[in-house]
Amino acid sequence: MNTVHAETMSVAHDVHDHSRHGHHKESFLTKYIFSQDHKTIGKQFLITGMIWAIIGGLFSVLFRLQLGYPDETFPILETFFGKWAKGGRIQPEFYYALITIHGTVLVFFVLTAGLSGTFANILIPLQIGARDMASPFLNMLSYWFFFLASVVMLSSIFISTGPAATGWTMYPPLSALPLASEGSKLGADLWLISMALFIVSSLLGGLNYITTVLNMRTKGMSMTRLPLTVWAMFFTAVLGVLSFPVLLSGAILLLFDRNLGTSFYLDQIYINGVVLPNEGGSAILYQHLFWFLGHPEVYIILLPAMGMVSEILSVNSRKPIFGYTAMLGSMFAICVLAFLVWAHHMFVTGLNPFLGAIFVLLTLLIAIPSAVKVFNWLTTIWRGNIRFTPAMLFAIGFVSLFISGGLTGIFLGNSTIDIHLHDTMFVVAHFHIVMGVASMFGMFAGIYHWFPKMYGRYMNTTLAYIHFWVTLVGAYLIFWPMHYQGLAGMPRRYLDKSGWVSFSQFGELDKMITVVSIVVFAVQLMFVFNFFYSIFKGRKVTNPNPWGANTLEWTTPINPGHGNWPGEIPEVHRWPYDYGKDGRDFIPQTEPISPKESVTHKTEVKPA
């Protein structure tokens, strides 16, 4: 019913479009800035995200410099940062500001907005066969709220007391009390306001994605014929819509505590010689609210990458994705469980041990759907005919990193072990591999794969290969040995270990990590260069379907205009993964099933 309805609607839209044809000139402003075209909005998310990635990455190089060379001075830092790097040394407040902004920006602005904002926007309408989002206007607002959030966050970096400096998790009372740290002055308010704007952006986006997927699919595109990318974006949006409001309320209560004298998170505090009047709040309440978003958030970051990787692995192995239904089922399981495990970040906060036990059980359950996904990916490339496009390389890298990081999650998810490993470098290594680097790999894979669709040109492949190999090797060199620091109990967020008997044995290692991270950062700059250079000077795409893929986005013209298909929207007759079927390299979704075709997949005519 739904799909038929959608079809008539889009046909109407189509006619309408054509009738306007003559006077359809868009000004620069409506075409590139306040655009309502989902493709342009996607690019806006992407480029804003890339700018943030460069800032966040640069910050990480700065604090790695401190970690690798705690005894040296870098006068150049003082030139740039003044009092924050007095005498060429990164001051503690500055160090904490750097890690806070690095974490916040990469988690939210790059890997949430930059990743799902970009690809949900570009891919959902194109892959389901819609001319645009359900509400192009809200979609545009979604970007501009993100832009506002970015402006607020950016401005907080330049105020005299500096930006928030409490870690990306913003735990009160540290974040609630201006007395507690420089970063808890104006910087913390700006951080909270920025996050509130960001959440509005992500809710507007998410609601739009959900509505679009449910209502705007073209004729024949049943839910079980959706590419896994679209499913992943759909689940991501559902997670976001259900969990971000909780963070919003947490952030608002924190703003109240900071500015209106409430005591939601404050109780019995004596700080800097001052007795505060607040009583009756709970600092732990904030942690519950934060992680109720925070854990789903890590899947909000990961799922789009998983979806794109599934698609790219299948296309470039010239084989169907293995276990489409199991992939869907595992994504669904992950989404449900993602809401039920948040307290594994709080095993040592004084949580009731019995409750802790339940969270151990639920947390480790997540490893099952994760394992299913890994085995399905492995089987997908098994006996394929693999083309190592840059996208494919990053997809394979993603699987490798996801395995490594998922396995360390099994250590942390077991509360017994987490007593020792909580808040150590082990956690840092775990989440950087499984979320940070893996999702970045997913994002790179997506960019390389859909760049021809976005800009009608290719990115330079030689640079792409260098980018991949250096980043993969670098990521492992940086984060693999870091687990050992964590096993030694070395706490995270320490900027100098020389005063400690227990943690000072890793000086050489820290230097090595710093050097590698500078190299890796430089290579990312090379990627950024490749990206912008290729927009203007890249090799032109001549084949509308350069990868030989089945999905609908490749049935549009090479440079699709607003509305995506010049003529009618194509009709869909099959699932998107008929690669190598009946001896044919690929069969696009738009091709009707011929009576002679073998029946092997259950979304085809009848079950096998």
Partner 1 sequence: MQTFFIIAILVLGFLITFQIAKASEYVAVLRGEEQTRKQSNKINAFLMLLFLIVGLIGVYYCNEKLNGKILGEPASDHGVLIDNMIKITLVITLVVFFITQILLFWFAFRYQESDKRKAYYYPHNNNLEIIWTTIPALALSVLIGFGLYYWFKITGPAPKDAMVVEVVGSQFKWEYRYPGKDGILGKKYFKYIDETRNNPLGQIWEDSANHDDIYITGEDLYLVVNKPVKMIINAKDVVHDVGLVHFRMKMDAVPGMPTTMWFTPTKTTKQMREETGNANFVYEISCDQMCGRGHTSMRGTIQVVTQEEFDAWLASKKPQYLRANPDKDPSVKKDSSNVKDIAAVMTN
Token pair of 521 as six digits: 């950062």
Residues 272-311 that bind ligand HEM (CB under 6 A): 298, 301-302
Applying CB under 8 A, among 472, 520, 552, 572 the residue interacting with partner 1 is 472
Tell me the C-alpha to C-alpha distance, in Å, between residue 19 and each of 16, 23, 125.
5, 9, 22
Strand partners, 540: 457
Selection from ligand HEM, partner 1, Cu ion, none that 500 binds (CB < 5 to 8 A by kind) is partner 1
Per-residue binding letters, 326-365, with partner 1 (x by CB under 8 A): x---------------------xxx--x--xx--xx--xx
Applying CB under 6 A, among 115, 140, 253, 366 the residue interacting with ligand HEM is 366
Applying CB under 6 A, among 435, 513, 549, 569 the residue interacting with ligand HEM is 435
Per-residue binding letters, 284-323, with partner 1 (x by CB under 8 A): x--------------------------------xxxxxxx
Residues 203-242 that bind ligand HEM (CB under 6 A): none
Is the CB of residue 572 less than 8 Å from the CB of residue 552? Answer: yes
Measured from the CB atom, is 191 or 565 closer to ligand HEM? Answer: 191
* Single-letter amino acid, residue 539: R
Which residue do the tokens 């330079």 mark? 460
Report the C-alpha gap between 40 and 22 in whole angstroms: 22
Residue 270 exposed, middle or buried by CB count within 10 Å (0-12, 13-18, 19+): exposed
Report the C-alpha gap between 297 and 292 in whole angstroms: 9
Is the CB of residue 142 less than 8 Å from the CB of residue 205? Answer: yes
Is the CB of residue 152 less than 8 Å from the CB of residue 199? Answer: no
Measured at CB, which residue is nearest to Cu ion? 295
Stretch in the footprint of partner 1 (CB under 8 A) among 32-40, 114-122, 491-499, 556-564? 491-499
Selection from partner 1, ligand HEM, Cu ion, none that 15 binds (CB < 5 to 8 A by kind) is none
DSSP H helices, 162-227, are 186-215
Measured from the CB atom, is 197 or 427 closer to ligand HEM? Answer: 427
Is the CB of residue 211 less than 8 Å from the CB of residue 142? Answer: no
Interaction between residue 400 and partner 1 (CB under 8 A): yes
Applying CB under 6 A, among 54, 367, 509, 535 the residue interacting with ligand HEM is 367
Applying CB under 6 A, among 42, 68, 117, 409 the residue interacting with ligand HEM is 409
Report the C-alpha gap between 277 and 127 in whole angstroms: 57
Interaction between residue 363 and ligand HEM (CB under 6 A): yes
Interaction between residue 186 and partner 1 (CB under 8 A): no
Stretch in the footprint of partner 1 (CB under 8 A) among 135-143, 196-204, 304-312, 459-467? 459-467
Strand partners, 275: 270
Report the C-alpha gap between 407 and 417 in whole angstroms: 13
For Cu ion (CB under 5 A), the number of binding residues is 1
Token pair of 377 as six digits: 């990916």
Measured from the CB atom, is 39 or 430 closer to ligand HEM? Answer: 430
Residues 258-297 that bind Cu ion (CB under 5 A): 295
Which residue do the tokens 């194509």 mark? 570
Interaction between residue 62 and partner 1 (CB under 8 A): no
Half-sphere exposure of 326 (CA within 13 A, CB side): 15
Which residue do the tokens 């979609």 mark? 139
Minimum gap (Å) between residue 572 Cβ and partner 1: 17
Is the CB of residue 217 less than 8 Å from the CB of residue 2? Answer: yes
Measured from the CB atom, is 152 or 435 closer to ligand HEM? Answer: 435
For ligand HEM (CB under 6 A), the number of binding residues is 24
Report the C-alpha gap between 518 and 561 in whole angstroms: 40
Minimum gap (Å) between residue 335 Cβ and ligand HEM: 12
Residues 236-275 that bind partner 1 (CB under 8 A): 266-273, 275
Interaction between residue 388 and partner 1 (CB under 8 A): yes
Q: Which residues contact 205 (CB under 8 A, 6 or more apart)?
A: 116, 117, 120, 121, 139, 142, 237, 240
Residues 106-125 that bind partner 1 (CB under 8 A): none
Is the CB of residue 229 less than 8 Å from the CB of residue 127? Answer: yes
Selection from partner 1, ligand HEM, Cu ion, none that 215 binds (CB < 5 to 8 A by kind) is none
Chain length of the chain: 608
Interaction between residue 417 and partner 1 (CB under 8 A): yes
For helices 507-537 and 461-479, give the axis angle rounded to 10 degrees.
160
Interaction between residue 497 and Cu ion (CB under 5 A): no
Applying CB under 8 A, among 73, 161, 379, 545 the residue interacting with partner 1 is 379
Token pair of 443 as six digits: 């994002």
Minimum gap (Å) between residue 486 Cβ and partner 1: 9
Applying CB under 8 A, among 154, 381, 428, 445 the residue interacting with partner 1 is 381
Selection from partner 1, ligand HEM, Cu ion, none that 434 binds (CB < 5 to 8 A by kind) is ligand HEM
Report the C-alpha gap between 338 and 360 in whole angstroms: 13
Residues 368-387 that bind ligand HEM (CB under 6 A): 370
H or E segment and range at residue 275: strand 274-275
Give the interface with ligand HEM as residue ranges (CB under 6 A). 169, 298, 301-302, 344-345, 363-364, 366-367, 370, 406, 409-410, 412-413, 418, 421-422, 427, 430-431, 434-435
Give the interface with Cu ion as residue ranges (CB under 5 A). 295
